[in-house]
Chain A
Amino acid sequence: MSSDYEFSDNEGEYYDSDEMMDDYQNDEDEEMEGDKYNNHNHNNNNMNDDDYDYTNDDDFRIPTKSKSKSYQVEYTSLTQSLVEKSMKEEVDHVSGIFGVEPSTATLLLRHLGWNKERLIDKYMENPTQILVDSGCQVPETIPSPSSSHSVDDKSSSSSRRATRSSSKLLLLSSSITSPSRSSSAQKKISSTSDSSMTFTCPICYDDSPSLIALSLTCAHSACSGCWTAYAISKIRDEGEHCIRCMTEGCAVVAPDEFIHRVLRDDDDGKDLEGRFEELVVRGFVASNPKLKFCPYPGCTNTVSCPSAASKSVLSMLVPIVSCGARGIPSSSQNPTSTSLSTATNTSSAHTKEHIFCFGCPIESDHRPVICAVARLWMKKCEDDSETANWIKSNTKECSQCQSTIEKNGGCNHMTCKKCRYEFCWVCMGPWSEHGTAWYSCNRYDEKGGVEARDAQSRSRASLERYLHYYNRWANHEQSTKLSLDLYAKTEKKMTDMQITSSLTWIEVQFMKKAVEALEKCRETLKWTYAMGYYLGRGNEKELFEDNQRDLERAVEDLAELLEGGGVEMEKEKENVGGLRQRITDKTVYVQKRNEIMLEDTAIGFQDGRWKWNVGVDGFEEPIEDFGGVV
């Protein structure tokens, strides 16, 4: 792959020199009209080639991790500061193109969800409109006579909307800022102490002379204390980073420096500066489909996964990523938390790695099943699992509308509450066929009754089928949860082992590795049941279930070895070495089976091999196989 790029690179150089020669020739053959056309043509071609090469070259320079397994996706973990850096790059780019202050560029980009292309289009179309819409600038209106004292056109437009008290400050504020457009979004800070007129804050009604009045470009002033309290309330209570002017109906947005300036006035506010930064980053991450914020509490890392950015690829791959951090971070962020190494974690506490799915809100590794099916399953479990068992044993379905009915007394003449269908509880046939045979059903063979019972058994079968998958799914989930206990137990065993045998701490690590492998494989197994439930019948499903069976067997073997290992150890203390060997072997085998399971499923998705028995976006029509499959 790299050799291709090198080749094109060389080509570029070749054309570069060629172009230079052409240019040289062009100068010489200025008068030779016939050749000139050809040369130009040639030149243009060269230019295009150069452009092409350049972009390729650029792509080549982006460091990409090599993709080793087909069930893994490429991704990079970014810290908040790295995201901030790329935000700054975007801002600088836009600010360079438009010739506006970075703070203005920031507000413009945020307004359009960081879509630079759209922003450039809109800005070229009507710069004033977009500046107003994004809250950088007040709308242009006819200057009112009262504002005759204002200096520049910007302030004259704003003064029309200014309140009594703020208009007094207008002269001051406009004299501070230059009338150029680039400064229009800058904060105007003026102090009434310079002024002979007293300032009364329209929010808190304070009029002490020491009051500092602040306003945005709209010149709606308020005292700094109110601005601070307002910003704190917006950030802390509403989680809002787009903080507008306090005046009703005014859409001007406070630039970041302004927010930091007012937050710094207050002890509570100082603590919120970090939160504000985080909210800004979250906004940026949310607007970029290639990025996702780590959903774990307290974590501020971001994962970049360009290969899973579009919804359509989610039917081909399962983008499970990790932000690299583990556990719940303390207030001060650990600088090493972003390292992607997983093996270096030797701390005794079991801290969970921040693994999540890039494509859906599930905060765990739901491989091998794709997001759409995993979500279907979660939804179904939420709806059904709690009550499914009870429904199965206590209710019947209305043969007309399939409503679930519980008979809690009375006679066998049932009337469905929903569709008003009247039927017999015993034979499930329509009541009308019963004639005068009230309160006893002796018409089991009636056609209607047989049909109704068929429908009943079909619906029962599908419920049984669901419970089959659900119970196994829940079982593995339960076991995964219990693995925390297993960790603690294993830890103890490892310590015991060091005392009773000649093994060192490093040598007993195999126990921990085995527990980790077990947990991981149980997670995979759990989700294979969700997948199995929705897989359409056929050879592919049988192969899938064979793989599932092998993995399950291996997992249970290893689990037994670990749980029962202690007892065995007592018996053959001398033979710890043998136990270690067996557990290590089993661990390797389990990992291998897990890999086969994941790999085969992932390849199946890429080849479009899997067929579902329900409608899933991006797949063919479902195979009908609900009837009677257990």
Chain B
Amino acid sequence: MDARLRRVNKEIADCKNDKTSNISLELIDNSPFHLKGSFPGPEDTPYQGGRFEVDIVIPDPYPFQPVKMKFITKVYHPNVSSASGAICLDILKDAWSPVLTLKSTLISLQSLLCSPEPNDPQDAEVAKHYTTSKGSFDETARYWTQIYAGGPGKKEAKGLRGVKDEVAIAGLEKAHVDQFEGLGFPRNKVIDVLRRLNYRGANVAQISEDRIVEELLKS
């Protein structure tokens, strides 16, 4: 039997048998080389309570070259692209070792959620948010977990607003958005500009309102 197929089948079986780690692997379009993995958000983090799905593609030279993984679930994290789900993790690149398995890689992703590396960011805007105002970042990450990863408090959020709160998704203060929207700019444009300028936490005092209006006029 093809060594790669044998290995992947064994890995999938191992994952099924292992009940403690709570990590699951399932096939996408009936090929064992295109999988969907998922794991629970680590405890005591803003990701707690969510379940995160990862798209897994197993390349031909596997396990001698790393698997290709990206988040299907949207994650607010400095090392994960908020748009594409691309992941910045050393073991998915040059630090890959053939003894690593799909399970151990998913566990590494889980621990990446515990300990972000804002100095080596995949998503620079999120990383800026993380470094300027950790509290506000945590809030946004928790909100994303609620909205996209089925985290706790989802029902309550739905009950209150009924729709996804774009301001909270962008990690901004509602008062700030309202302030500039009041000047006659479209809401989504205000959110876009404020997010790009990282108008959060201590930065708010440093960015003048003129500068924001200028940016709003430009775009």
Task: Name A's B-contacting residues (CB within 8 A).
Answer: 163, 202-206, 220, 222, 225-226, 229-230, 232-234, 237, 246-250
Contacts and interface: CB of A to CB of B under 8 A. Distances in A.
A203 B65 contact: no
A203 B100 contact: no
Contact of A230 (B10, B91, B98, B100): B98
Interface in B5-23: 6-7, 10
Contacts of B63: 203-204
A204 B97 contact: no
7 contacts: A205-B10, A206-B3, A230-B98, A232-B64, A237-B65, A248-B100, A249-B97
Contact of B64 (A163, A205, A220, A230): A230
Contact of A233 (B10, B65, B99): B65
Contacts of B3: 204, 206, 225-226, 229
B61 A247 contact: no
Contacts of A230: 64, 98
A203 B10 contact: no
B97 A248 contact: yes
B61 A203 contact: no
Contact of A246 (B6, B10, B97): B97
A225 B65 CA distance: 15
Given A204-B6, A206-B6, A246 B98 contact: yes
Nearest to A225: B3
Q: Specify the main secondary structure of chain A where it touches its partner.
A: loop
Nearest to B11: A205
A202 B61 contact: no
B175 to A, nearest CB: 30
B100 to A, nearest CB: 6
A47 B91 CA distance: 58
Interface residues of B, number: 14
A45 B97 CA distance: 59
Contacts of A249: 97
Nearest to A204: B3
Contacts of B6: 204-206
Contacts of B99: 163, 202-203, 220, 246-248
Given A226-B98, A250-B97, 6 more contacts: A163-B99, A202-B99, A205-B7, A229-B64, A233-B64, A246-B98
Contacts of A204: 3, 6-7, 63
B82 to A, nearest CB: 29
B61 A237 contact: yes
Interface string B45-84: 0000000000000000101110000000000000000000
Contacts of A237: 61, 65
Contacts of B95: 248
A247 B101 CA distance: 11
B130 to A, nearest CB: 28
Contacts of A220: 99
Contacts of B10: 205
Q: Which 10 A-B pairs have the closest CB atoms?
A: A233-B64, A248-B97, A204-B3, A246-B98, A205-B10, A233-B61, A230-B64, A203-B98, A247-B99, A204-B7
Contacts of B98: 203, 222, 226, 230, 246
